């Protein structure tokens, strides 16, 4: 039954993420928000919704390692698995702002996340408040920059033309699917962890994180296939930012999140730092200003290495 619940939860999260992405993009386009802002905010928030619900639910139900491991594992999967696979299928070009602003901001958020965790092996209310405050400032800045640049590249998704009742129903269906999928996924994952004798941390940074990263994978590949490669990368960088600032911010403000398994601090979070930092040299080492198939293979192999040593 635990395996069945796990599979049902993964399927529900995939379906919920897909509906939420379509509805969120349609709403953003109707509001005349630029594609950069859509990628770094709306799409990122939509694809991070599974992580948010899983982490809050896990923290409230006495599974803090799943709450933390889900975010750390998802950030690892976004950079190595999702970006790697997307680049293998569709080599990605990018703008200067990616390495001048977006990635440095993601690195800063990751360092702050690690600092808070290492200080007292937990995240508490005021630390979560700092995350939310930083996220608010970031969103205001991105919207301001978008208006100044007057970017109106909002024809990337056909779903943008859908009527109000349709995208609203997508948002509702997506939200309900994420709600039930979260309960099934967390219940199945914790049951399997107890059954096979591995920690909740291992299950959370691998199986649970993979499940909650599927929306990012779908959004990035769809965006890249439609020649919106900047949106594809922006979605992943933005999703990692949202995972830390929004997911951990909201979760720790609702309920303190304490580290139980020290492997999160001695192993997993360092993989998250390392992969994020690796993006900068990868952008110029093989092919200047492009994340191509070689870089994609490197990232994908690193994810396989991480999973191999995890078990």
**In this predicted model, which residue has the larger pLDDT, 173 or 190?**
173
Q: Is the pLDDT of residue 32 over 80?
A: no
pLDDT, residue 155, reads 47
Q: For 197-234, write each residue's pLDDT tens digit.
A: 788 899 889 888 887 787 778 777 877 777 766 667 87
User: For position 262, what pLDDT does the model report?
Assistant: 92
Tokens 């301001």 belong to residue: 144
- The lowest-confidence range among 135-139, 186-190, 264-268, 294-298 is 186-190
Residue 150 has pLDDT above 60, yes or no: no
Are the CB atoms for 247 and 88 separated by under 8 Å? no
The CA distances from residue 110 to 17, 104, 237, 272, in Å, are 24, 10, 11, 8
Pairing of strands 290-291, 92-93: antiparallel
β-strand pairing of 92-93 with 122-123: unpaired
Domain of 267, in residue numbers: 2-310
Average of per-residue pLDDT values in the chain: 82
Band the pLDDT of 162: cuts 50, 70, 90: low
Please check the confidence at residue 159 and state whether its pLDDT lies above 50. no
For 294-310, write each residue's pLDDT tens digit. 899 999 999 999 999 98
User: Which range has the top average pLDDT, 79-88, 98-107, 202-211?
Assistant: 79-88
**pLDDT for 39:** 63
- Tell me what pLDDT residue 57 has: 86
CATH number at residue 253: 1.20.1420.30
pLDDT of residue 53: 83
* Separation of alpha carbons 202 and 26, rounded Å: 36
What DSSP string describes 216-265?
Answer: HHHHHHHHHHTT-HHHHHHHHHHHHHHIIIIIIHHHHHHS-EE--STHII
Distance set, CA 159 to CA 26, 27, 73 (Å)? 6, 10, 30
Query: Residues near 249 by Cβ (< 8 Å), separated by ≥ 6?
Result: 128, 129, 130, 131, 132, 135
Examine the pLDDT at 156 and tell me if it is beyond 60: no
Nearest C-alpha neighbor of 43 from the set 16, 26, 31, 25:
25
Average pLDDT over residues 64-83: 93
Across residues 9-13, what is the average pLDDT?
79
Rounded to a whole number of angstroms, the CA Rg of the chain reads 18
- The total number of structural domains that make up the chain: 1
| Predicted pLDDT of residue 93 | 77
């Amino acid at each position: 039954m635990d395996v069945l619940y796990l599979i049902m939860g993964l399927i529900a999260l995939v379906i919920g993420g897909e509906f939420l992405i379509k509805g969120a993009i349609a709403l953003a386009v109707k509001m005349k928000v630029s594609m950069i802002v859509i990628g770094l905010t709306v799409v990122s928030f939509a694809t991070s919704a599974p992580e948010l619900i899983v982490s809050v639910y896990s923290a409230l139900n006495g599974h803090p390692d799943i709450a933390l491991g889900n975010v750390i594992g998802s950030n690892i999967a976004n950079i190595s698995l999702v970006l790697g696979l997307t680049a293998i299928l569709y080599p990605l070009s990018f703008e200067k702002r990616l390495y001048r602003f977006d990635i440095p901001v993601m690195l800063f958020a990751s360092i702050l996340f690690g600092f808070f965790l290492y200080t007292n092996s937990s995240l508490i209310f005021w630390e979560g408040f700092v995350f939310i405050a930083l996220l608010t400032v970031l969103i205001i800045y991105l919207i301001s920059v978008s208006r100044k640049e007057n970017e109106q590249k909002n024809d990337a998704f056909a779903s943008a033309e859908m009527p109000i009742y349709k995208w609203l129903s997508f948002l509702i269906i997506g939200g309900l699917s994420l709600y039930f999928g979260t309960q099934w996924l967390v219940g199945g994952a914790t049951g399997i962890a107890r059954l096979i004798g591995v920690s909740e941390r291992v299950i959370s940074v691998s199986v649970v994180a993979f499940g909650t990263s599927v929306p990012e994978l779908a959004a990035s590949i769809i965006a890249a296939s439609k020649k919106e490669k900047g949106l594809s990368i922006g979605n992943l960088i933005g999703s990692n930012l949202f995972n830390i600032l929004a997911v951990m911010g909201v979760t720790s403000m609702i309920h303190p999140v304490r580290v139980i398994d020290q492997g999160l601090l001695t192993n997993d979070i360092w993989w998250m730092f390392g992969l994020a930092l690796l993006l900068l040299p990868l952008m110029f080492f093989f092919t200047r200003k492009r994340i191509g198939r070689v870089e994609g293979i490197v990232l994908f192999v690193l994810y396989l290495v991480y999973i191999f040593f995890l078990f």
